[in-house]
């Protein structure tokens, strides 16, 4: 059902080029404990469950926020699963409309420690928040600097809805500490989306041309 929907996903690292027409969601994580009462879902599917809550208020002694007060970001760490376990820390937004083209962006960074790396996967979940229906488009390894990541989603038509999910993944023994800040979902200006569409069409044309060349050999 949800996984069979025709959703165009495009990952863009660094700054998103679209100029927002309408903002559907704008979260700076000033008060993480209040997120669940505002419709967010925070859950731990690590194997087996860890000793800490999966996503908590940022610790200014480890990292400082991208903007706002020093601790105004959301964080997760290797304790979300025990030694030898696998992380599965889910941060899922409230429901928003996917009727129109969307750009969803967030900033992330790690507390870099030699020999360790932090990974995030992100994408869409259906409106129910059922993670078995998650469509996570890509996996990133975060850096020691705040970096913006964006996801472009083609409109699904009147009445369609979804949630956006970020999952902290990987082996607990190889992870350290990750922060996420300034998550925004917005409807871009039509001109911005058109430019993105041209880029995607160009990529598709290259792939078709290469496929044709291969079949001619």
Tell me what pLDDT residue 137 has.
80
pLDDT confidence bin for 21, thresholds 50/70/90: confident
Residues 6+ apart with CB under 8 A from 64: 70, 71
Going by the DSSP 8-state scheme, the letter that residue 47 receives in this structure is B
**What is the C-alpha radius of gyration for the chain, rounded to an integer number of angstroms?**
18
Q: What beta strand segments (E) does 64-101 contain? A: 74-77, 86-92, 96-97
Tell me what pLDDT residue 200 has.
41
Q: How far apart are CA 99 and CA 153, in angstroms?
A: 10
Tell me what pLDDT residue 52 has.
79
How distant, in Å, are the alpha carbons of 4, 96, 166, 190, 215 from that of 134? 11, 15, 10, 27, 35
Q: How far apart are CA 122 and CA 215, in angstroms?
A: 35
Per residue in 197-214, pLDDT (tens digit) is: 433 433 333 333 334 444
pTM tops 0.85: no
Tell me what pLDDT residue 124 has.
96
Per residue in 147-200, pLDDT (tens digit) is: 999 999 999 999 999 999 999 999 999 999 999 999 999 998 775 544 444 334
Question: Residues of the chain with pLDDT > 90: what percent?
Answer: 72
CATH of domain 9-188: 2.60.120.200
Domain ranges across the chain: 9-188
Q: How far apart are CA 144 and CA 78, in angstroms?
A: 16
Per residue in 77-131, pLDDT (tens digit) is: 999 999 999 999 999 999 999 999 999 999 999 999 999 999 999 999 999 999 9
Quote the distance between the C-alpha of residue 194 and its chain's center.
23
pLDDT confidence bin for 46, thresholds 50/70/90: very high
């Amino acid at each position: 059902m949800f996984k069979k929907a025709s959703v165009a996903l495009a990952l863009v690292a660094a700054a998103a080029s679209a100029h927002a027409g309408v903002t559907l969601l704008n979260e700076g994580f000033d008060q993480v404990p209040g997120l669940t009462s505002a419709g967010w879902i925070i859950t731990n599917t690590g194997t087996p469950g860890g000793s800490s809550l999966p996503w908590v208020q940022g610790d200014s002694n480890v990292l400082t926020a991208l903007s706002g007060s020093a601790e105004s970001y959301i964080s997760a760490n290797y304790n979300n699963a025990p030694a030898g376990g696998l992380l599965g820390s889910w941060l899922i937004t409230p429901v928003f409309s996917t009727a129109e083209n969307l750009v969803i962006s967030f900033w992330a960074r790690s507390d870099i420690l030699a020999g360790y790396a932090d990974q995030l996967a992100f994408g869409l979940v259906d409106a129910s928040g059922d993670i078995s229906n998650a469509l996570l488009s890509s996996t990133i390894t975060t850096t020691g600097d705040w970096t913006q990541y964006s996801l472009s989603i083609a409109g699904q038509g009147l009445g369609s809805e979804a949630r956006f999910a970020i999952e902290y993944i990987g082996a607990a023994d190889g992870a350290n500490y990750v922060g996420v800040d300034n998550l925004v979902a917005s409807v871009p200006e039509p001109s911005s989306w058109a430019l993105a569409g041209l880029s995607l069409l160009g990529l598709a044309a290259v792939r078709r041309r290469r496929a044709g060349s291969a079949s001619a050999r």
